[in-house]
Amino acid sequence: MVQTARPSARFRPADVVDFVIVGSGAAGGIMAKELSTAGFSVVVLEQGPRLTEAQFIHDEFGMLMRNQYVNDPSTQPHTFRATPQDRAAQALSLIYGRMVGGSNAHFTGNCWRLRPSDFNEASRLGGVPRSALADWPITYDDLEPYYTKVDWELGVSGEPGPFDAKRSKGYPMPPLPVKSSGVLMDKGAGALGLHSHPSPMAINSQPYNGRPPCQHCGFCLFFMCEFRAKSTSMAVMLPLAEATGRCEIRAGSYVARVEMGTDGKAAGVSYFDAQKRLQLQRARAVVLCANGAETPRLLLNSATSRFSSGLANSSGMVGKHLMFNTYFGVDAQFEHPLNEYKSVQNTRIVTDFYESDPKRGHYGGGAIDARFGRYPITFALQGLPPGSPTWGEGFARSLAQQYTRSMFFGCHGTSLPRETNSVAIDPDLKDAWGLPCMRVTYQDHPDDLKNARFLVDKALQIAQAAGALKAWPETVGPQAQSVHLLGTCRMGNDPRTSVIDKYHRAHDVKNLFICDGSSLVTSSRGQPTMTISALAFRAGEHIAGFAKRGEI
């Protein structure tokens, strides 16, 4: 790995840098690396703190219940309602990483590509009633080279699955060692004639580009990797960006508005620094990689007299089409210890149900992975089957018996885009910086829940075929919370129905670019990070080209 040999760049807000990037996660980190290595000066503004590996702590309580590394509802609350007819109330509905490295720093590592079919489902299926399902303006072939860039520049372990789309290059690393949950998935899926295969993971299975292989400590999900074995923006891209000497990562910078010049172009962004002083970072172009929640909020909060309904929002589509993905599953207990608390979250997936099949009677597809996902506190709170003792000797005995013998079959599914599912501005609520907060409106499309039930039913069959002593499905019902924040500034060729073009340029503002979960036109089958990362490589290349040709 290229370590920072010279001090990273430092700019003053008054300096007109080439690019200011808002956000440092999956997309922001790649964007910073692509633009700085292309020769441009870059400032990355990140609202969260900059942590080093030595500060990482495996504090399940802090992480899951005290919002240690995510957006903090006590200072930056938002409201939620299911439908426009409901009254919105404060809730923790949207969750994202709040630190240098973003959500990507503590993601699971799943690295699923889309398939060619994801890009043109609307025209192929003829649309889905009560949804805004649309085709992407790009194809799998357009994105494939950039998926390969993610594989090789970040580092992905895996081997091609039986239904994968064609790849221009193999995986750079073999799969991680199979866990007991994966062996049971192989057994259960195999008995049903399904195809269990190694999960593609952004985690090193062997030394890669100067970073060590996974040590199998078991703290990937919700935690950052002490060993830099997880291939993240934080571990790989941001150090490369800083090593150019042209990129500054400014932590503790809470962005308030994109500021417009009199020429109709973005002049920079205003932000509160760590001392809550308002600053203006000037730039020749602005790139928003602030995630599918904060990017639309920022655009809507950047309304001017000329852009009265929010910046880049002549289509009215900013904040619309929010998609969560569905995530439900099946808990299972086995006779012998699996010790799922060790190593990566999952080592096997079943993608037989990826494609939407009209014969099922609903739109949707997905995949099932073999995982655990429960650290000790979470397991004690909710890891035992319904009807188990909740306190006393029976409770203690069950926990002691089952912690090592339990696993979870996670079902990851599609969410249809709906115009009513949205991130908007709450009319009343302000955050600790005095900025208007988000109001989230979300109700799963009926097909999303039918698809989730379909997948859970398949997972239950797999668990039983694997020989589970006990297996019980989660109840599938309306989702009100997500860490997947997708679709809110969708890309498209038509400025009347989309926010950005296929090169991630805002239709309405020549030097404003948007690339993060908000860019996705469809929801993926439940693991969007790989696609967000590939889009960032692709967008970075095009944006650098525009800048070099004087087209921003």
Partner 1 sequence: MFDLHDRRAFLRAAIAAGAAWATTDVADVEAAFAWSSGQTAAGKRPVTTLTTAQADVVEAVTARILPAVDGRPGALEAGAIHFIDRALATFNSAQKTLYSDGVADLNRRATAASPGTASFAALSAAQQDDVLRQVERTPFFQAVWFDTIVGTFGLPTLGGNRDYAGWHMLGFEHQPSFQAPFGYYDAEIAKRG
What gap in Å lies between CA 414 and CA 37, rounded to an integer?
Answer: 36
Tell me the window of 79-87, 179-187, 244-252, 426-434 that interacts with partner 1 (CB under 8 A).
Answer: 179-187
Kindly calculate the radius of gyration of the chain based on its CA atoms and give it in whole angstroms.
22
Q: Is 29 helix (H, G, I), strand (E, B) or coil?
A: helix
Candidate residues 98, 228, 439, 525; the one interacting with partner 1 per rule CB under 8 A: 228
Tell me the window of 93-101, 173-181, 193-201, 270-278 that interacts with partner 1 (CB under 8 A).
Answer: 173-181
Tell me the window of 211-219, 287-295, 482-490, 532-540 that interacts with partner 1 (CB under 8 A).
Answer: 211-219
Give yes or no for residue 371 binding partner 1 (CB under 8 A).
no
Cβ atoms of 516 and 423 closer than 8 Å? no
Give yes or no for residue 217 binding partner 1 (CB under 8 A).
yes
Cβ contacts of residue 94 below 8 Å, gap of 6+? 71, 78, 293, 423, 438, 440, 481, 482, 485
Name residues contacting partner 1, limited to 180-209 (CB under 8 A).
180, 182-184, 207
Give me the least distance between CB of 341 and partner 1, in Å please: 5
Give yes or no for residue 369 binding partner 1 (CB under 8 A).
no
Q: Is 62 helix (H, G, I), strand (E, B) or coil?
A: helix
Q: How many residues bind partner 1 (CB under 8 A)?
A: 59
What gap in Å lies between CA 388 and CA 383, rounded to an integer?
Answer: 10
Candidate residues 117, 206, 211, 446; the one interacting with partner 1 per rule CB under 8 A: 211
What gap in Å lies between CA 269 and CA 47, rounded to an integer?
Answer: 13
Give yes or no for residue 470 binding partner 1 (CB under 8 A).
no
What gap in Å lies between CA 142 and CA 113, rounded to an integer?
Answer: 13
Cβ contacts of residue 39 below 8 Å, gap of 6+? 246
Tell me the window of 84-92, 148-156, 175-183, 523-531 that interacts with partner 1 (CB under 8 A).
Answer: 175-183
User: Which neighbouring-strand residues pair with 350?
Assistant: 196, 368
Candidate residues 218, 245, 385, 436; the one interacting with partner 1 per rule CB under 8 A: 218
Candidate residues 95, 192, 251, 380; the one interacting with partner 1 per rule CB under 8 A: 380
Site string for partner 1, 336-355 (x = CB under 8 A): xxxxxxxx------------
What gap in Å lies between CA 136 and CA 118, rounded to an integer?
Answer: 8
Q: Rank residues 155 and 417 by Cβ distance to partner 1 and give the closer one.
A: 155
- The H or E element containing residue 363 is none
Candidate residues 152, 395, 472, 546; the one interacting with partner 1 per rule CB under 8 A: 395
> How is residue 48 written in tokens?
């969260």
Give me the least distance between CB of 375 and partner 1, in Å please: 8
Candidate residues 123, 309, 390, 481; the one interacting with partner 1 per rule CB under 8 A: 390
Cβ contacts of residue 315 below 8 Å, gap of 6+? 495, 496, 497, 498, 499, 507
Nearest to 26 by CA among 544, 534, 502, 412: 534
Name residues contacting partner 1, limited to 77-136 (CB under 8 A).
none
What gap in Å lies between CA 384 and CA 390, rounded to an integer?
Answer: 9
Candidate residues 399, 429, 465, 480; the one interacting with partner 1 per rule CB under 8 A: 399
Residue ranges binding partner 1 (CB under 8 A): 1, 3, 52-55, 57-62, 65-66, 177-180, 182-184, 207, 210-213, 215-218, 226-229, 334, 336-343, 376-377, 379-381, 390-393, 395-397, 399-400, 403-404
